[in-house]
Chain A
Amino acid sequence: SQQGEEDPQALSIQEGENATMNCSYKTSINNLQWYRQNSGRGLVHLILIRSNEREKHSGRLRVTLDTSKKSSSLLITASRAADTASYFCATDLTGANSKLTFGKGITLSVRP
Chain B
Amino acid sequence: GAVVSQHPSWVICKSGTSVKIECRSLDFQATTMFWYRQFPKQSLMLMATSNEGSKATYEQGVEKDKFLINHASLTLSTLTVTSAHPEDSSFYICSAKTGVNEKLFFGSGTQLSVL
Q: What is A's interface to B at a CB cutoff of 8 Å?
A: 2, 30-31, 33, 35, 40-45, 48, 88, 90, 92, 95-97, 99-105, 107
A105 CA to B31 CA, complexed, in Å: 27
Contacts of B97 in A (CB 8 A): 96-97
One of B12-20, B37-45, B66-74 contacting the partner: B37-45
Could you list some 29 contacts between A and B, CB below 8 A?
A30-B102, A33-B102, A35-B106, A40-B111, A41-B108, A42-B6, A42-B106, A42-B107, A42-B108, A42-B109, A43-B44, A43-B95, A43-B104, A43-B106, A45-B104, A45-B105, A88-B43, A95-B102, A96-B97, A96-B102, A97-B31, A97-B97, A99-B34, A99-B49, A100-B104, A104-B42, A105-B41, A105-B43, A107-B41
* Contact in complex: B34, A42 (CB < 8 Å): no
A55 CA to B75 CA, complexed, in Å: 34
* Distance of A65 from chain B, by nearest CB (Å): 14
* Contact in complex: B99, A43 (CB < 8 Å): no
**Residue of A whose beta carbon sits closest to that of B94:** A42
B84 at interface by CB-CB < 8 Å: no
User: Which of A33, A43, A104 has a CB less than 8 Å from the CB of B93?
Assistant: A43
* Distance of B22 from chain A, by nearest CB (Å): 14
Residue of A30, A31, A102, A104 with most chain B CB atoms under a 10 A cut-off: A102
Number of A-B pairs, beta carbon distance below 8 Å: 61
Contacts of B111 in A (CB 8 A): 40
With known contacts A97-B31, A97-B97, A31–B102 Cβ distance under 8 A? yes
* Distance of B80 from chain A, by nearest CB (Å): 20
Contacts of B31 in A (CB 8 A): 97
User: Which of A2, A30, A96, A102 has a CB less than 8 Å from the CB of B101?
Assistant: A96
* Distance of B81 from chain A, by nearest CB (Å): 18
A43 CA to B101 CA, complexed, in Å: 16
* Distance of A86 from chain B, by nearest CB (Å): 8
Contacts of A2 in B (CB 8 A): 43
Contacts of B42 in A (CB 8 A): 104-105
**Residue of A whose beta carbon sits closest to that of B6:** A42
